[in-house]
Amino acid sequence: MFKFLSKTILHGRRPIKIESLKCHNPSLSFSTSSDPQSFTVSYLVKTCGLSPESALSASKHVNFETPTQPDSVMAFLKNHGFSKPQIAAIIGKMPRILSCKVEKTLLPKVTFFNSKGISSTDLSKLFVKHPHLLRLSLGRKIIPNFNFLSNLFQSDNVALDVINFQPRIFCSDFDSCILPNCNVLRQNGVPEHNIVKGFRRVPKTFSVTPVVFKDNVEEVKKMGFNPERFSFVVALDVLGSMRKSTWERKFDVYNKCGWSEKEILEAFRRYPWALALSEDKIKAVMDFLVNVMGFQASSVAKYPSLLGLSMEKRIVPRGLFVKDLMSMGLLEKKLGLRILFWISEELFLQRFVYSYKEEEKVSELLKLQALSSVQSQASVKSRAEAGMLDSAYSCQVSEARPEQES
């Protein structure tokens, strides 16, 4: 939309004023270079690859009248291996980067990370995910925080792994937050190797303010967690990641599924991630194990790590197969959830399928089961027929995070 400027002209003795005329045809609209925001939006779209909507939003945070400054940033990113989609992603998340001085702000950070062994490819991926790293102070944040992590792990490579896993850890104040929290753990008997392990697996746990962190430590101790075990650090992570109202809702879900408060707390001690699972996941697993498989809710409470397994990849296919085994009289229900779900797939087949000599039943079970690869099935079956089966089996509970759903 545009206007003709009002003009006053003389017509004889009387001045005649020509009023501004408005054009209401959007197709005739245009922006002039005298409008900084219009220029910025146009530059963000044409040069940076942003959509018009994203460019309009980004222009609220950055403004320039000439392409000189943003051109220097664009050239720098291209020369350091950033693709067009990566550059668009970075600018879309943090448009202020276009105002950064290349030699003073951007180049020193890239040089520092390259000197620590991170490749240009990995660095570009890191900055795409967390472009705020490009604006952090190299002297006040990046270097001292990296050195802290490197000293803690006694390895630059491990420090880089932590940065890749949780780059926002660099935004934390190590002197007034991270270091005091580490000392609190040491004072409460948490071994150094578990502090290091915690930083690698759940680094955001250490970013909690010291006052809150101390309260969480005391709360976890009251719940009966042993500071010498890594589950103590995991419990801190779970407790510190949710509000009290969320915590209470999770308790309510387990209550409705048939667990007592005592069973919930015991399950939390055995498997802290049980309280980190979504309410929908808890309901889905409990419904399957109790209503489909026929197990008592109190029995499931004894093996809470089952809830962290993938429904699609593990619980449902193996559970249905186990149900078929029980219906055919080849497996007693009293063997329990631990054996059914925690042993490896091959040992599961050895113990509960191929140890039976009825060839017809074995053939039928092979059609039903969906637990092993074709190669694994053939290997185990050949060993069964040769009488080489070892019926021993083992169970191993992991302290890792819950399995991801596919």
Tokens of 119: 């490749």
Closest by Cα among 365, 360, 367 to 348? 365
Tokens of 188: 């409460």
* Cα gap 114→133, rounded to integer Å: 14
pLDDT greater than 70 at residue 11: no
Residue 154 falls in which region: left (phi positive, over 0), alpha (psi -120 to 50) or beta: left
Range name among 5-9, 53-57, 259-263 with the lowest pLDDT average: 5-9
pLDDT greater than 80 at residue 386: no
Contacts of 365 (CB under 8 A, 6+ apart): 321, 324, 325, 328, 330, 353
Contact 217, 236 (CB under 8 A): yes
Contacts of 344 (CB under 8 A, 6+ apart): none
Give the H or E element holding residue 225.
Answer: none
Tell me, what's the pLDDT at 35?
A: 58
Residue 399 falls in which region: left (phi positive, over 0), alpha (psi -120 to 50) or beta: alpha
Tell me, what's the pLDDT at 346?
A: 62
Contact 165, 135 (CB under 8 A): no
pLDDT greater than 60 at residue 23: no
pLDDT greater than 60 at residue 382: no
Tokens of 87: 């550059």
Closest by Cα among 96, 160, 148, 154 to 123? 160
Tell me, what's the pLDDT at 348?
A: 62
* Cα gap 389→350, rounded to integer Å: 7
192-212 confidence digits (pLDDT tens): 999 999 988 888 899 889 999
343-354 confidence digits (pLDDT tens): 666 666 666 554
The whole-angstrom distance between residue 314's C-alpha and the CA centroid of its chain comes to 21
What are the CA-CA distances from residue 391 to residues 20, 322, 328, 400 (Å)? 94, 17, 20, 28
Residues in the chain: 406
For the entire predicted model, the pTM comes to: 0.67
Q: What is the 3-state secondary structure (H, E, C) of 336-385?
A: HHHHHHHCCHHHHHHHHCCCCCCHHHHHHHHHHCCCCCHHHHHHHHHHHH
**Quick one: pLDDT band at residue 403, thresholds 50, 70, 90?**
low
- Phi, psi values for residue 278, rounded to 5°: -70, 155
Contacts of 282 (CB under 8 A, 6+ apart): 250, 253, 254, 257, 307
* Cα gap 245→195, rounded to integer Å: 28
Contact 134, 100 (CB under 8 A): yes
pLDDT greater than 80 at residue 397: no
Query: Apex CA 342: angle with CA 338 and CA 346, to 5°?
Result: 125
Contact 258, 298 (CB under 8 A): yes
- Alpha helix (H) residue ranges in 168-293: 179-187, 192-201, 210-222, 231-240, 244-256, 261-270, 279-287
Tell me, what's the pLDDT at 347?
A: 64
Tell me, what's the pLDDT at 14?
A: 45
* Cα gap 239→229, rounded to integer Å: 16
Tell me, what's the pLDDT at 350?
A: 61
Closest by Cα among 193, 272, 194, 282 to 238? 272
225-237 confidence digits (pLDDT tens): 999 999 999 999 9
pLDDT greater than 70 at residue 114: yes
**Quick one: pLDDT band at residue 28, thresholds 50, 70, 90?**
very low
pLDDT greater than 80 at residue 37: no
Tell me, what's the pLDDT at 336?
A: 59
Tokens of 337: 């959830």
pLDDT greater than 50 at residue 372: no
pLDDT greater than 50 at residue 217: yes
- Rounded average pLDDT over 37-57: 88
Tokens of 109: 């950070």
Tokens of 239: 């407790």
* Mean of per-residue pLDDT scores for the chain: 77
- Please name the residue that has the structure tokens 């140890």: 355
Helix (H, G, I), strand (E, B) or coil at 11: strand
Please tell me the number of Cα atoms within 13 Å of 227 on its side-chain side: 16
